[in-house]
Structures are given as structure tokens and as C-alpha cells.
Amino acid sequence: MILNGIGQRIYADRQKLIEDFSTYDLREGEFGNMWFVTAIGTLIINMDRTLKVIPNYKKQEWKGVIEKQDYAGVFEFCFWRFGEYITIVVDDKLPTKNNKLLFCQSETREVFWCGLLEKAYAKVYGDYESLANGDAIDALVDFTGGVAERINLRDVNLKDEKRRATLFGKLKADRINEALIICYIQCIPEERGKELPQGFVLGHGYSITDFKEIINDKTQEKGQGSSKLLMIRLANPWVKDEWNGPWSAKSKEWQKLDPSLEAELQFSKDKGEFWMVFDDFLNHLTNVDICHIVKSSNEFKLHSEWTGRSGGCDYSSQSFLSNRQFIIEIHQDEDELHVSLEQHDIQPNKSHTGRTLNTIGYSVMKVAENRMYRLHIPGKLIEKPDMIKTRSVFGKTVLSRGRYVIIPCTKDQKEHGPFLLRLYTHGKANVWELTEEGPSTIWPCLSLPSMVTTLAVLSLEKIEKPEGSKDEDFTPKIVVQCEGEKVVSKIPLELNEKNEWETKSDFEHVKVTFYRKKPNQPIIIEVFNSNKIFDDFCCQARVIDNGGEEGTSIKCDVFGRKKEKYTKKSGFIHVFVQSSPDLQFL
């Protein structure tokens, strides 16, 4: 193997070192790196992103210098790595054998940008050998700073037509939002490169470039079944091998297409593009990987590490809550949370490191509205860990107002290593790590609380609007108070068959935790009717029972306040209360 300076031994013309970007002018090298060809072939679809990876490319170009002697023979590339962008500089020498490039290269002899990009990427990992078993979606994350979502089509129940339509709509929306999407047929390493009868090649990745939902009136007129077609366009960076089934370039389906729709289904055979019906796509492809370019209003990046205190992934085990805990507080009534959990790359084939990729996942739990310390008993599970042995995992979930704890975890307690947790929301939110187990003090004159109490408001029953309320609607909120601390939350009500106000069936319990120095004092729950100017007081309940460590459900009578403090009013408040003198019990 010889490292030749480009233009010295390989080619004399250096006119297009990093110019003439083309998605469909690529091929893998002698040692096989199909995944990298897939990654850069997909990247080039978004030229804005490409020019961030290769900054100031015109100034770096051979013909961009003022005079020939100004050419420095070095090139600059930019990659996103574990939460930050890094700059990599390489020279113009590429590995060759018998004057032929060994790794990623262009079909055009004088174009070298893909080989230089691969060399810079190999430098990030240490050497070319480290790229032997790479993953295209991970490379796209490194190129763009996006987040990776992996969909195994065999794990999704696609027999239902509505599920198929939902998946089609999701992928189409992701593409509109400038996500980079690839698909492939999963196979064992020994089968990579094998061509299937339908034209697909095992191990090759295909870029998804467009989605169309069309109504083919010509088909309907001939009585040939449903006229609605869900179409997906793929692009093959290798150009020569492509789909040969229905809606392929020479298929008879094009003759049945209404001429007015031809403009909707444009494709370039020279660029390896082809259309498929979405059902055929689902029947033949096994995996879809999506690199989301997240455009949420808020991004939170948290670096941490799985260490000796890692607790595994079994939500029901006592060790689970020894994992790292991160809290997110949602301020909107409803918001969509995007979660990306990423671990550092550790190549499985490098046995001398003594490490492999961890099997990772995360859980999301609803916790008390005023949670300040680490959890010691599980909260309400919103999303359970979906454990995958991969560099990163991704998920979305819609959350209502309140606080939630996110717990990144590994499958085995012995799996350690650094990780990056990225959270995205559309509305305002706060995020921080829970590190303290409970209240503490370094001052002898300050006493610690003697009891921790968790109270959950389960429902309101037959609560009436206050007399004289001018507001026709009843939009109550509750205020839970204990020793000067208060928590405010909304309570959605609806009228039942008896025209009585009761809590909606989908009501999310309001949960609060207090660390109490005076446990004999009651916890006060007040109900108000929310108005634009002044809130109308409805009633209050006083919770005296502490519930014990097992906890107990209580049906609380409600009363007035001040002069009506002992006047019983209509309705009840149902709560669950649990307490312990051990401040790290709850």
C-alpha cells in the first residue's frame, strides 16, 4: 500500500479535488465500505449540510488558489462529535495499490472529495481499520449533528392498513422536515453484496428522497381496483442496481398512469432513482434509519457516565433507581419531548480495548410536581426502556405539564461508559440532574425534616362552583400547601349524568412531596375556580393522616375557610398519602 500525493502519481489533473459533488458518482473501495458510500451519498442530497462538513470548499479547491504555488495540499473538514463540532485537517495523500485508490472513490477519475472526506473521518476514529464495520446512520449524525432514529420494519405490525398509512405519513413528514432517510435489507456480513431477484443488493443502503400520495383516475376508470397510491422514491448511490418490480423504470404500470400525474412522479434513471408502491417497499426492505435535523425551540445537552453505580434496566428491581436521574419540567399544558441517548463509539471488532457497545435505553417517569431529590421508589412509568445494542437510541413522547424523571440505563449493571443525553422541546422547559438523595445540612443549628410525605390528589367528587361566581365555566385549580411550601395545578372537570362535577377519566394525578419538620400540622388542599382577574375560592380539605410507609387512600371532606373553616361544603377530595421518617424512603 502506498500513500500517493494526488496528482503526483495517480492523476495529473487536480482540477476537481473537492468540487463537483454528486450523489450518484460514488463507489466503495477494494476493502468494502458500503455503509460510508450510503452515508455520503445521502448527505449530498442536502447541500447546505454538505457545505458545513466541507467548509469554504471553494477556497480549499486546487483551482481556487491564486497561483499554483499557493496550493498547500491540506484540507479541512468539520464533524459533530458527542455534543460539539470538531475540525479535522488532512493532507492530499490517499491510500493506493497499483496506482488505484483503495477506499471510497468517485467514478470520475479526477474527483477526490469523497476519498478526502473518508480520510478525515478515519482520522477521527484513529485509522481506516476502525471504519470496517461502521453504520451509515451514525456517520450521518457525525456529519450533521442530528439525532438517529432506527425503525425495524419487522418489529412493526404492518398488516393493518391504518398502521401502514401512519408510517407513510410519519416518513413523509420527516422528509419535509429535512431529515436524511436511508433504508436497507438487513443481512449477515457474509451476504453483503449479494443481489436479489428484485434488484436490491444486500448490505447496500438506499436514500429515500420523496413521497407522493396520488389518485390515478385512469386506473379507476378501467376498474383496476383502488386508485389511491402511496408512492416512495429511492435513490441508489451505485446507480447500476435498482428495483425491477412494479413501477420500476420499464414496468407496465407507467402505461396505466394518468398523463397529468407524470410530473408528480419524476425520477432520474441516470442518478439511480426509482419509484415503488409503499406496500412493496414494506415487503422487501427490513430497516429504515432516520437522521432528524431537530428544529425544536429548546435543546438540552447533558454529559454523564455509567459507572459502578449503574443499576441495569429492570424497572422493577431495587437497583434500577441507582442509575443517573435527570428531571425535566414541562411548562406548557402539553409538549412533545424528543430524547436522544448516545454512547461513545467503541468498535466491537477491536478486542484489545476490552469493550463493546453497551446495550442502552431510557425510561421516562411522572413524578411529584415539586420533586427536588433523587427517586427512591419508581414514579408512574410513561415510557419503558427499549434496550438496543447500538450507538444511540431515540424516541418521542407527548407530555402534559409537570415534572418527569428520565433514567438512561444499560442492560447489564456491569456495562459502563460515558453517554450524552439530548432533550428537545417546543415550549419552555427546565432540565437538571438529580444528585442529592434528600435534605441535608452542614449547620448544627439547623434541624433536618423529621418526615417525608408524598400526597397524590386522585380525584374531585361533587365539588360545586362558589356561589355568586360570574364565570359560566368551571375551570378549577388546586393549591396544595404544607409548612409554607405550595404547589399549584389545574384539575379538569366534567359534568356526569347527574349534572355533578367530577374529575375527567384521563386526569393525571397531581403528586407532591414534602419534607416536613412539623408532621402534626395538616396538609391543606384548596380548590379555586380560575378566572381572568381573581380566582374564586371553592373549598378546602385538611389532610391529617400521614398514611404510613405502606400508604393509604383517604376520602376527604371539604370545608370553607376563615369564618367558615368548620362549615362542611358539598363534595369530596380523594387522595393517596404515604409517609416515612426515613427521608430517603420516597
The residue ranges of every structural domain in the chain are: 2-145, 148-254+266-291, 296-349+357-434, 451-580
For residue 419, how far is the Cα from the chain centroid? 15
In 92-138, at which residue ranges do the beta strands (DSSP E only) sit? 93-97, 100-101, 105-106
- pLDDT, mean of residues 235-253: 81
Q: Does domain 148-254+266-291 have CATH number 3.30.465.10?
A: no
pLDDT of residue 32: 65
Q: Mean per-residue pLDDT for 30-57? A: 84
Looking at residue 430, its pLDDT comes to 96
Mean pLDDT of the chain, nearest integer: 85
Look at 57 and 359; give whichever has higher pLDDT.
359
Q: Where are the alpha helices (DSSP H) in 177-264?
A: 217-221
Query: How high is the pLDDT of residue 12?
Result: 41
The answer to whether the beta carbons of residues 158 and 164 sit under 8 Å apart is yes
Give residue 306's pLDDT. Answer: 93
Per-residue pLDDT at 437 exceeds 60: yes
Residue 11 reports pLDDT greater than 50 = no
The answer to whether residue 341 scores a pLDDT higher than 90 is yes
Give me the numbers of helices (H) and strands (E) for the chain, helices first please: 8, 31
User: Which sign does the torsion angle of CA 182, 38, 44, 90 carry?
Assistant: positive
CA distance 319 to 169: 40
Give the three cell numbers for residue 174.
Answer: 420527516
Cell of residue 528, nine digits: 379555586
User: If DSSP codes are grouped into helix, strand and coil, which group holds residue 445?
Assistant: coil
Burial class (CB in 10 A: 0-12, 13-18, 19+), 421: buried
Mean per-residue pLDDT, 170-189: 93
State the pLDDT at residue 257.
Answer: 83
Task: Provide the pLDDT for residue 15.
Answer: 47
Residue 529 CA to its chain's centroid (Å): 38
Which residue reads 483503495 in cell numbers? 102
Q: What is the pLDDT of residue 65?
A: 52
Q: For domain 451-580, give the CATH superfamily.
A: C2 domain (2.60.40.150)
481-499 burial by CB neighbour count: b if 16+ within 10 A, else e? Answer: bbeeeebebebebeeeeee
| Residue 173: pLDDT over 70 | yes
Q: How many residues comprise the chain?
A: 586
What are phi and psi for residue 42, nearest 5 degrees?
-75, -40
Please indicate whether residue 134 or residue 375 has the higher confidence score (pLDDT): 375
Q: Which range is least confidently modeled, 200-214, 434-448, 568-582?
A: 434-448
In this structure, which amino acid lies at residue 2? I
Return the higher-pLDDT residue of 242 and 526: 526
Residue 498 has pLDDT above 70, yes or no: yes
Active site residues: 204, 236
- Phi then psi dihedrals of residue 440, to 5 deg: -150, 165
Cβ atoms of 547 and 524 within 8 Å: the answer is: no
Instruction: Give 553's pLDDT tier (boundaries 50, 70, 90).
Output: very high
The whole-number pLDDT of residue 7 equals 41
pLDDT, tens digit (0-9, with 9 covering 90-100), for 351-388: 433 457 899 999 999 999 999 999 999 999 999 988 99
Q: Is 573 helix (H, G, I), strand (E, B) or coil?
A: strand
Q: What is the pLDDT of residue 23?
A: 60
Give the pLDDT confidence score for residue 21 in this predicted structure.
60
E-strand stretches of 426-473: 429-434, 451-461
For the CA atoms of 184, 190, 193, 198, the dihedral, rounded to the nearest 10 degrees, stands at: -60
Q: Could you tell me what percent of the chain has a pLDDT over 70?
A: 87
Rounded to two decimals, the pTM is 0.87
On the 0-12 / 13-18 / 19+ scale of CB atoms within 10 A, 299 is middle
Split at pLDDT 50, 70, 90, the class of 226 is low
Least confident of 96-100, 104-108, 158-162, 196-200: 104-108
Give which of 457, 462, 460, 466 is closest to 537, Cα–Cα: 466
Q: Check residue 170 and give its pLDDT.
A: 95
Task: List the strands of the sheet with 287-292, edge to edge.
Answer: 147-152, 287-292, 180-184, 206-215, 228-235, 273-277
Among 75, 57, 56, which residue's Cα sits nearest to residue 20?
57
According to CATH, the topology of domain 296-349+357-434 is Jelly Rolls (2.60.120)
